Structure 1
Amino acid sequence: MKQKIKTRRKQRRKSPALPAYLFLLIFAAPLAHGQTPPSADQTIYVHTSPLSASGVNIRKFPHQVQVLRSQDLTQNGVANATQALSQRAAGVNLVNSQANPYQPTILYHGFELSPIQGTPAGLSVYINGARFNTPFGDLAIWSLLPSEAIHSLSLEDGNPVFGLNALGGAINVIMKNGFNTSGGQVELSGGSFDKLNANLEYGKQVGNTAAYVDLNETHEAGWRNAQSSDIQNFYGDIGWHGPHAALHFNATLANSNLNGPGSVPVQLLAADPAAQFTGPNNITDKYAKFSATLDDQLTAKTSLQAVIYYDNLRENLTNGNGANDQPCGPGVNAGYLCQGGAGGSLSTTLGGAPIPNFLPNANAAGYYSYAQLNLNTTNTNGYGGSVQFTNASAIFGLKNNLLAGLSYDGGFTNYGAAGYIGGLTSVSRFYYTPSGIQSPGYLLDEPGTVPVNVVIRNAYYGAFISDTLNLTQKLALTASGRFNIANIALHDQNPPDPNAPGGGLTGRHYYDHFNPAIGATYDVTNLLTVYGSYSEANAVPTPAELSCASPQDSCSLANFMSGDPNLKQIVTHTFEAGVKGTLVGPLESIIIYNADYYHTITSNDIEFLQSPYNPISSGYFGNIGNVLRTGFDAGVHIDFNKWQIYGGYSRIDAAYRSNFIEHSSNPQANTNGDITVVPGDHLPGIPQNIIKLGAAYQATRRWNLGISFAAQTSTYLYGDPANLTPPLPGYFVVNLTTSYNISSALQFFGGIDNVTNTKYYNYGTFSPTGLAGGVYVAQAPNYSNPRSYSIAAPASVYAGMKYNF
C-alpha cells in the first residue's frame, strides 16, 4: 500500500504557474466585476436574509457578496442566469452531465447545485424570499425561471440565515415588478443549432398599483443528436405600495421538455462527435409557483417582512441504458436473464416470474443488446413562509441593524418509478420494444428496488437572528445564528413484499442543528475595507438520499427508492477573510476591487457512490467523512471613458480528508472493482484555477463591442475520486458580442460563442466496456477505453433584435 500511494502522488496534478503580470492585473476581486459599476461614493446594500428589506451597507458585511443585475444577465443579448454566473462570478464553474445546455450543474467553491437528481445540494436558492430548492431533492431547476424577469441576483458566502443547504453560500434572486420596470420590450433572436428565442415583457405603474408580466419561449435543436430543448415560461407580479406598506402577489408558470445525450465514450466521440451513447434521455417539467410578500414599515425604526408561497412540480424522466440483466448461461437458469449475467440471481417480472432470454442470439461482436428503460414520475408540492422583524434603533448610541425571524418550508411528494427490459438498437443505441413483447417491455419486479410508489413528507423549521453593530465609525461587528429542524417521513404505498430486503421504504428521520456566525469589518480608509468571519451551515439528507442509502439495494439516477438507512447531516465550518473597496483611478476611472480567502471543512459529506452489486447503472448515497475546500477569489472591475473591463482569478483546492473505499468503473480499480480514496485526493469536477476576463467598448454613441475570455485548468473525472487516471483537460474559450442601437426604441445584437472553435469538454466520467454489461458501439466496435466525456458546444453565432415601447 505504501508503494501504491507513493506512485499515485507522482501522478498528482501540478497547478500551472500563472504569469506574474497576469496575476497582478487581476488581483482584486469578484465582488462586483459582474455588476454595472456604481459611482465611487455610491452605497451598495446587500440582503442579510432572503427577505428583501434586510439590507446593510456592503462595507459592513463580513462576507464576500457578488451581485449581478438584469443588464449583466443580458450582456450576450439573451438573458441567461447560469451562463452569467459562469462568465462573471468568481469561484463558479459549470459541469454538464446531461449534455443539455439548459441543465448545467453550478459549482461554487466546490459546492454543487444541480437540476438533476443524484447531486447533494451545497447552495440554497431563494426567489423573492421564497425557497426555490425543490422539497424532494433540493434541486434548482433554472429552466423553470425566466432569466429575462430577474431584477438582481446575488451570490453570498457564509450566512447561516439562508437556512438549509447554504454550505457554500446562497443565491438570492429578486424578480422584476411594475415599480422597478416600466414600459415594454419585445425580443426575438436566433442562431446556430436551430436556436430560437422570443420574449415579451411589460411593466406599468398606475398610482400606487403596478403590474409586470414576462412571457418567454425557447427552442434549440442542439449540436448533438437527441439534444433538443423546448421551454415556455411565464412570470407575473401585481403590487401595491401604500404610505408605509408594500404588498406583492406573483406567479411563475413553466413547461420544459429537455433531451440530453449525456456523456459518450471517447472512442465514439472520435468517430462521431454528435453521437449519444444510449437513449432516450428525456426530462419534462411542468411547474407552477404562487407567492405573496409583505413589507410594512411599522415605525420609523421597525419594519415587518413576510412571504408565503406554494408551488407544484410534476417531473417525468425517461432514461434508457444498457441493461445489467444478461443471459444466465448454461445450467438450471438457462433460457432466462440474470442480474449481472451468468452466476447472478434471476431477473424477475411481476409476480416473480423469470424474464426469458428473448434476444437469444448475440451479434458478431458477442454482445446481447439488452436495455433497461427507467421511467419515474415525481409530483411535488412545496409550501411555506417566513416572517421577520427588523429594527434599526441605536444601542448605547451606536448604530445597529437587527433582524429576527421564523421560517417554515414543507413538502408533499408522490414518487413512482419503474424499470423495463427491452432491446437496444445497434447503431443509435436507443431503447426499443422487440416484437411479440407488450410495450414498453418486461416490467422489472425486484423487491426493494422497483417498482416504487412512495409518499414523502418533509417539514423544515428555522429560527434566525442577525445583528450588525457599528462599534465605531470604522469598525462593525456582525453576529448571527439560525436553528434548523428537519422532519422527513417516507410512506411506502406498495403492499408488503416478503421478498423485499429488511427496512423497506417507510421511515422517519429527524435532524436539528444550530449554526452560528460572527464577523467584523474595518474601514482602513474610505477606499479600503478589511473583514473576517467564522460561520457554520448544515444540510440534512434529502428524501431522495435517505431512500437510496444502501449498497445492497441501490438505485439508478432515475430511480431513488430502495430502503432508507439513516444518513448523517452535513455540517460546514468556514473561516473567511478579505479586502474590498472602491476608488477613483486615472482618467476619472472607477475601480471596484475585492480579494477573499475561505477555508471550509465539511463533516459527514454525502456523495453518490457506485453500487458493487449492480455497477452498470446503479448507486447509493453515503457519508464519506470530511472534505476540505479552501482557496481565494480575486477580481477587479474598471469603468472609464468608453471602456468597462473586468478580470477575475479563483484558486480552489477541494480535497478529501478521510479514507474510504468506493466501487468504481475506474480502469485502475483493483480486482474487486474497488478504489481507495485517501486524504489529499481531489474532488472530481472542480478545477484548481479559473480565470475570467472581459471588456466592453462603446465604439460610437450607438455601437457597442464586447469580448470575454474564460479559462480553467483540468479536473478529475467523476468516478475517479482517488485521482488514479489522467484528468479531463482544461480549456480556454473566447466569445464576442456586439449591439447597435438604431434608435432609443430599436436595438440589434449578435455574437459569436467559442469564436476559435475550441474543442473542449465540460464533464467526464467512465462508461462500462466489454461483454459484461457493456454496450455495443457500431461506430467503434472494438472500443475499450472507458473514459466518457460530454463535449461542449463548437463555434456558434446568434443575432436578434429588441424593440422597446
Structure 2
Amino acid sequence: LGGAIVIQTKDGFKNSGTSANIHAGSFGRVGIQAETGGSTSERFSYFLTGEYLQEDGWRDHSPSEVTQLFGNLGWHMAATTIDFNVTLVATDLIGNGAAPVELLEVDPAAVFTRPDQTENELSLVNVTVEHELSSTLSLAGNAYVRRSDISTYNGDDSDFEECTATPGFICDEEGILAFDPSDDPIPAIAAFDGATINRTNTEQDSVGFGLQSSWSRDLSGRDNVFVLGTSYDDSSIDFGGNTELGRLDATRLAVPGGALVGDSFTRLKTDTTSWSLFFSNTFALTEAVSLTLSGRYNDIAVTLDDQLGTALDGDHKFDRFNTAAGVTAKLSQRMTFYAGFSESNRTPSPVELTCADEDDPCRLPNAFLADPPLQQVVARTYESGFRGTWQSGRWQAGVFRTTNEDDILFISAGALRNQGYFDNVGQTRREGLEINLDGQAGDSVDWLFNYTFLKATFRENLTLPSPNNPLAVDGEVSVQVGDRLPLIPRQLFKAGIRASIGERITIAGQALFGSTFHMRGDEGNDLAPVGEYSLLNVRADYLLNDHAQIFLNIDNVLNEEYLTFGLFGEADEVLGSDFDDSRFVSPGAPRAAWLGLQLTF
C-alpha cells in the first residue's frame, strides 16, 4: 500500500549491439522482438527496442495483439547524468473472464458471454537528471508526461426483461420501465432480450515531477546521509460510457440490438492532484549499526465534474503525515539484521468514490454513480529479518505484519456477477514470512528458491451482501474476525534451476505452487476454497554459433488444470436450469510450447 516500484531500464552504455528474436507456437502465437544500442562516445548513448505479439488465445474467441516500443537517449558527463525515455504501447486484448464451473467441466476453453475486449494506447515521456554538486551533496530529479486511452467493449448477460406491470416493454431488475435517450419506453422484442453491451472510453493525461537532494556528511564523527525531496503529480480523466440492449447468439456473443438505455449514459471528468514532501536521515550509531528515520507528508485532492448534470460532482481532500523508522545491524561480513516500522496511505480513486453505494451497485469499469464518500486507507507495517550472502549467492528471511485501517474492498452485489461496489470494510491484516535464496553450484548451475506465507484476514466482524452465494442468508454473509480475505492464497512457492551442458546447451526449469483461496463473495469463508495448484515450466537453448541460438519454452509441462479467480453468478439465466451451480471461475492456461530463434550481432 502506497509503495513504489523502481525500474532500471536498459541503455546503450550497458547494452551495446543488436539482437532480434522470433518465436511461434501454441494458440497461434507469433512474436518478434528486436533491440539495438550503443554509445558514440563515453558521454552519449542510445537504445531502442520494439516488440510485437499476437495470438488466438487458449480460450474460445480470445485473440489478442500487443505492440510495444521503448527508446532511451543518455548523456553521462563527469558530474551530471541525463536520461530521456519514450515508451509507446498499443494493445487489443480479449480476456473473456470467469465462467460457470459446470460449463468449464464440459469444455475448459469455453467462455460464458463475450466479447470482453479492452483496447489500450499509451505514450510516456520521462526525463531523469542526476547532478553531483560536490563529493557530499547531490541532486536528482525526474519529470514525465503520460497519456493513455482505454476503450472497453463488454458483452454480458442482462438484468433487463419484459415488464410484469406493463407487458410489451422492457424493465430493469427492480421493475422500473427502461427508456431510450429520447425518453421513449423500450419495447420488449427479441433483439433486446438477454444481453447488454457495455462500452466505455477513458482518456487520461498525467504530468508530474520529483526533486530530491542527498547530503552525505559526518555527524559527531559518524556517517550520516540526509535526503530531502518533493513530488507533484496531476492526473486528469475524461470518462464516458453507455449500455446497449441486445441478444445472445448460439455462441453467447452479445449482438447489439440498437437500443441504448437512456440513464446508462455517463460522462465524467476527474482531476487528482497530489503534492508530497519527504525526508530521510540515516545515521551510523556504530560501525555496524545504522538507524533510519523518515517522514512523508501527502496532500491529495480529487475533483469530480459531472458533464451530464450535477449528481456525480464532488470535491474530496485527503492529507496525512506518514512516518517510518528502521535499524540495520551488520552481525558479520555475511549477515545483516534489519527491523522497521512504516506508515503509508492510499486515497480512494475516482472509480471507488463513485461506486460506493450498497443500494446501487455498478458494473466495473463502466459505471459512475452518486455515492457516499470513502475514507483513505492507512497502513502500518512492522517487519524484521536477516539477509546476507554466502560463497555462491544471497539469502533473506523475514517476517512482516501490515494492518490496514479503513481498507477498501470490492464487494460483489447485484444480480450480475460483475456488479458490486467499493466500501471501507474496517481493519484488515496481512502478515507472514518470506524466504528467498539463490546461488550457484559450480560454474554451470544457477538456482533460486522463494517462499511466501501470507495470512490475510479481516479484523472486524462484518455483514456483507453476496446475493449469489448459495449459503447467504437473505443475500448476506457474516464475516468474523480472522476470516481470510478473498482471492489471496496463503502460500506461494517458486523454485528454479538453470544448467549449462557443455558450451552449447542450456536447460532451465521452474516449479510454481499456489495454495487455496476463497472466492469473491465468500468473505465469510463458508464454502470450500478454490484448490491449490502446482506448475512446471521448462526451457532449453541451443547455441548454433556466436550469433544464433534456438530455444524452446514449454509452460505447464504436466498440463495441470488449475483456477486463478472465483466469484458467484447466475449461470442458469443464460444456460438454462440444468446449470444451477452459482460458482464462476477463471481457469489457468493449459500446456503450451513455443519455438524461437535468437540472433545477436
Structure 1 residues 155-304: aligned runs within 5 Å: 165-166=2-3, 170-207=4-41, 208-304=43-139
Identity within the alignment, %: 29
1:637 matched to which residue of 2? 438
Q: Decide which of 193, 198, 206 is 1:374's aligned counterpart.
A: 198
Q: Is the 8 A contact 2:468 2:570 kept in 1?
A: no
Secondary structure of residue in 2 paired with 1:262: coil
2:221 to 390, 397, 404: 397
CA contact (8 A) 1:519 1:533 kept: yes
Alpha-carbon distance in 1 for matches of 2:472, 2:382: 38
Query: How far off is 1:562 after superposition?
Result: 0.7
Return the alpha-carbon distance in structure 2 between the equivalents of residues 327 and 262 of structure 1. Answer: 28
Counterpart in 1 of 2:596? 800
Structure 1 residue 618: Cα displacement: 2.3
Match among 422, 427, 437 for residue 246 of structure 2 = 422
Q: Deviations over 1:638-694 (max 9, x none)?
A: 212121121122111000011222221443344521111121110111111122112
- What letter is aligned with 2:283? L
Asked whether the 8 Å contact 2:469–2:522 carries over to 1, the reply is no
Letter aligned with residue 116 of structure 2: N
Is 1:347 the counterpart of 2:181? The answer is no
Partner of 2:508: 706
Q: What's the CA shift string for 1:561-595, capped at 9, x where partnerless?
A: 111421100000111000011022xxxxx131110
Identify, as 1 or 2, the structure richer in strand. 2
* CA-CA distance at 1:218 after TM superposition: 0.7
Any idea what SS the aligned residue of 2:351 has? helix
* SS of corresponding position for 1:631: strand
Q: Match for residue 675 of structure 1? A: 477
| RMSD between superposed Cα atoms in Å | 1.6
The Cα of 1:468 is off from its aligned counterpart by: 1.6
Structure 2 counterpart of 1:481, from 295, 300, 321: 295
Deviates more, 1:746-755 or 1:402-411: 746-755
What count of residue pairs does the alignment treat as equivalent? 599
CA contact (8 A) 1:519 1:532 kept: yes
Q: Distance in 2 between matches of 1:704 and 1:283?
A: 38
* From 440, 452, 461, the counterpart of 1:659: 461
Letter in 2 for 1:734: L
SS in 2 for 1:775: helix
Amino acid of the structure 2 residue aligned with 1:353: D
Alpha-carbon shift at residue 174 of structure 1 (Å): 1.5
Structure 2 partner of 1:618:
419
How far apart, CA to CA, are the structure 2 residues paired with 1:507 and 1:625?
Answer: 23
Kept in 1, the 8 Å contact 2:416–2:569? The answer is no
Contact 2:197–2:256 (CA under 8 A) maintained in structure 1: no
C-alpha contact (below 8 Å) 1:374/1:558 kept by paired residues:
no
Alpha-carbon shift at residue 786 of structure 1 (Å): 1.0
TM-score, normalization by structure 2: 0.97
**Residue 253 of structure 1: how far off its partner (Å):** 0.6
Residue 343 of structure 2 corresponds to residue 519 of structure 1: no
Shift of 1:199: 0.8
Residue-by-residue CA offset, 1:720-774 (whole Å, 9 max, x unaligned): 111111111001111111112222322211121111111111111112144xxx2
For 1:197 and 1:663, locate their aligned partners in 2 and report how far apart those are by CA, in whole Å.
44
Query: Map of 1:98-177 to 2, 5 A cutoff?
Result: 122=1, 165-166=2-3, 170-177=4-11
* Distance (whole Å) between structure 2 residues aligned to residue 199 and residue 616 of structure 1: 38
Offset, 1:473: 1.4
Q: Secondary structure at the match of 2:8?
A: strand
Deviation sequence 1:387-406 (CA, Å, 0-9, x none): 10011112122112221100
8 A contact 1:610–1:620 mirrored in 2:
yes
**What is aligned with 1:308?**
143
Cross-structure match for 1:113:
none
Q: Provide structure 2 residue ranges, at least 5 long, that are not aligned to the other structure.
A: none
Give the secondary structure class of the aligned counterpart of 1:225.
Answer: coil
Q: Does 1:408 align with 2:206?
A: no
For 1:608 and 1:351, how far apart are their aligned partners in 2? 34
- Quick check: 2:244–2:256 contact (8 Å CA) kept in 1? no
For 1:804 and 1:316, the matched residues in 2 are separated by: 38
The residue that corresponds to 1:776 in the other structure is: 575
Any residues of structure 2 matched to 1:502-581 within 5 Å, and which?
504-581=311-388
Q: How far apart in 2 are the matches of 1:197 and 1:710? A: 25
Whose relative contact order is higher, 1 or 2, with alpha carbons under 8 Å and at least 6 apart? 1
- What does residue 452 of structure 1 align with? 266
CA separation in 2, counterparts of 1:559 and 1:384? 27
CA offsets 1:611-635 (integer angstroms, 9 cap, x no match): 35x5554222110100011000112
Partner Cα separation in structure 2 for residue 622 and residue 505 of structure 1? 17
Please tell me the residue identity of whatever aligns with 2:216: A
> How far 1:264 moved relative to its partner?
0.8
Partner of 1:468: 282
| Other-structure match for 1:433 | 256
CA distance in 2, matches of 1:394, 1:764: 56
SS in 2 for 1:352: coil
Q: How big is the shift at 1:719?
A: 1.6
Residues 191 and 769 of structure 1: CA distance in aligned 2, closer, same or farther (over 3 Å):
closer
Contact 1:323 1:616 in 2 (8 A): no
Residues 331-380 of structure 1: CA deviation (Å, up to 9, x unaligned): 3x12112211xx621122224322211129xxxxxxx9411111000000
Residue 356 of structure 1 corresponds to: 187
Work out the CA distance in 2 between the residues paired with 1:670 and 1:693: 40
Q: Distance in 2 between matches of 1:228 and 1:785?
A: 28
1-side partners of 2:358 and 2:586: how far apart? 27
**1-side partners of 2:461 and 2:290: how far apart?**
41
Paired with 1:661 and 1:353, the residues of 2 have a C-alpha distance of: 40
Aligned to 1:788: 584
The alpha-carbon deviation at position 708 of structure 1 amounts to 1.2
In the alignment, is residue 338 of structure 1 matched against residue 155 of structure 2?
Answer: no
Distance 1:617 1:186 in 2: 41
Match of 1:493 in 2: 307
Specify the SS of the correspondent of 1:721.
Answer: coil
Counterpart secondary structure, 1:350:
coil
Question: Aligned letter for 1:783?
Answer: F
Counterpart secondary structure, 2:574: coil
Structure 2 counterparts to residues 569-608 of structure 1, below 5 A = 569-584=376-391, 590-608=392-410
